[in-house]
């Protein structure tokens, strides 16, 4: 059983790492698009804490948090964002193509909804080879509207695949609100269950609720009942880049985001569990040092040699 402190440390690590990466982006050390995960930490950690070692996870364009929650290496991740040889994809993938098979993070892709059919194939392989594991894919509310998602739901139900789709509903597809993209009668639960797939909804700003719902639904996913877990959460920064733009916000205004900040809420849960303020603060300071050291390691790392430019290129 994972302690509240261990879960908080993962969430705090993601938050601090993202904040440091935002500074690197401002200093033009990261030359690609970057989609920050600040505000959604409870989803990645809540779900991944419910996974077993052999389970596989896949992410999307906003997957730093998913990668770290699944046990990914921070130094490798930062190196990857900086295009360095020590990166998880040897500097060739960047922010939107995280991968680390050593921790069963199968990969992430930035094309909207594209990770969903890949995760279906992963779940099919698990069932075909009679493995006890499941596959989890993280996608956004905008990606959920792609047709490939519904094809995947149909196949997953038909073949009874051990697949869980985690929809991180942060209310926006880039800057377009849900109400401007869906009809008044659009009902995610009815759509999902209509395909014969189980559905749960969780407070994605709350680790405990997300973890509880993930644990419950994963038990049935392991028996061949595919499912969707929709987590309602807030994206604190802009769609891409370290920008705090409030112009288009309605429900998720700054005051509301701060009130429901998942890292802040989880810290209080840890303190309420009996962990002393001194111990929590000490853990936070250690994580901050680790992040700074990881950034320093990445900045000093080498770029891939030119002779490797075609290595791993398949076409």
Tens of each residue's pLDDT in the chain, 315 residues = 789 999 999 999 999 999 999 999 999 899 888 999 999 999 999 999 999 999 999 999 999 999 999 999 999 999 999 999 999 999 999 999 999 999 999 999 999 899 999 999 999 999 999 999 999 999 999 999 999 999 999 999 999 999 999 999 999 888 888 888 999 999 999 999 999 999 999 999 999 999 999 999 999 999 999 999 999 999 888 888 777 777 788 888 888 888 999 999 999 999 999 999 999 999 999 999 999 999 999 999 999 999 988 888 777
Judge contact between 315 and 95, C-beta under 8 A: no
Judge contact between 137 and 58, C-beta under 8 A: yes
Among candidates 313, 281, 314, 315, which has minimal Cα distance to 92? 313
The gap between the terminal CA atoms of the chain, to the nearest Å, is 45
Measured CA distances, 58 to 107, 108, 139, 141 (Å): 5, 6, 9, 16
Q: Which tokens hold the place of 70?
A: 């699944």
pLDDT computed for residue 172 by the predictor: 87
Q: Is the dihedral of CA 160, 151, 202, 189 positive or negative?
A: negative
How many CB atoms neighbour CB 116 within 10 A?
Answer: 25
pLDDT computed for residue 236 by the predictor: 86
pLDDT computed for residue 279 by the predictor: 97
pLDDT computed for residue 312 by the predictor: 81
Tokens 């990166």 identify what position? 87
pLDDT computed for residue 133 by the predictor: 98
Q: What DSSP element (H or E) covers 295?
A: helix 277-300
pLDDT computed for residue 193 by the predictor: 98
Q: What is the pTM of this model?
A: 0.95
Q: Which CATH entry fits the domain spanning 4-301: 3.40.50.620, 1.20.20.10, 3.40.50.970, 3.40.1640.10?
A: 3.40.50.970
Judge contact between 266 and 7, C-beta under 8 A: yes
- Residue 71 makes CB contacts below 8 A (sequence gap 6+) with 48, 103, 105
pLDDT computed for residue 227 by the predictor: 98
Judge contact between 70 and 64, C-beta under 8 A: no
Give the three-state DSSP class for 68: helix
pLDDT computed for residue 243 by the predictor: 74
pLDDT computed for residue 213 by the predictor: 98
Distance of CA 144 to the CA centre of its chain: 15
pLDDT computed for residue 202 by the predictor: 98
pLDDT computed for residue 59 by the predictor: 97
Q: Is the dihedral of CA 121, 10, 209, 133 positive or negative?
A: positive
pLDDT computed for residue 212 by the predictor: 98
Q: What is the tally of helices (H) and strands (E) in the chain?
A: 11, 8
């Amino acid at each position: 059983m994972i302690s509240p402190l261990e879960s908080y440390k993962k969430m705090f690590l993601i938050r601090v790492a993202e904040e440091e990466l935002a500074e690197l982006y401002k200093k033009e050390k990261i030359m690609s698009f970057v989609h920050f995960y600040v505000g959604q930490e409870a989803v990645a950690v809540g779900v991944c804490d419910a996974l077993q070692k052999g389970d596989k996870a896949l992410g999307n364009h906003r997957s730093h948090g998913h990668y770290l929650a699944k046990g990914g290496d921070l130094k490798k991740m930062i190196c990857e964002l900086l295009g360095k040889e020590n990166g998880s994809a040897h500097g060739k993938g960047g922010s939107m193509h995280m991968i680390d098979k050593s921790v069963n993070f199968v990969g992430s892709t930035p094309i909207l909804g594209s990770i969903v059919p890949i995760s279906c194939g992963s779940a099919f392989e698990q069932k075909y080879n009679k493995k006890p594991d499941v596959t989890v894919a993280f996608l956004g509310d905008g990606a959920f509207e792609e047709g490939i998602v519904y094809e995947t739901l149909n196949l997953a139900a038909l073949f009874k695949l051990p697949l869980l789709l985690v929809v991180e509903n942060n209310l926006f597809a880039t800057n377009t609100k849900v109400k401007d993209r869906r009809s008044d009668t659009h009902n995610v639960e009815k759509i999902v269950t209509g395909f014969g797939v189980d559905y749960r909804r969780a407070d994605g700003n709350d680790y405990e609720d997300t973890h509880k719902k993930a644990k419950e639904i994963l038990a049935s996913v392991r028996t061949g009942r595919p499912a969707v877990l929709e987590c309602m959460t807030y994206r604190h920064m802009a769609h891409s880049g370290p920008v705090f733009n409030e112009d288009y916000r309605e429900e998720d205004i700054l005051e509301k985001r701060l009130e429901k900040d998942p890292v802040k809420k989880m810290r209080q849960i840890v303190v309420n569990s009996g962990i002393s303020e001194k111990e929590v603060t000490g853990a936070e300071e250690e994580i901050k040092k680790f992040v700074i050291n990881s950034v320093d390691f990445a900045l000093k790392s080498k770029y891939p040699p030119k002779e490797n430019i075609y290595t791993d290129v398949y076409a």
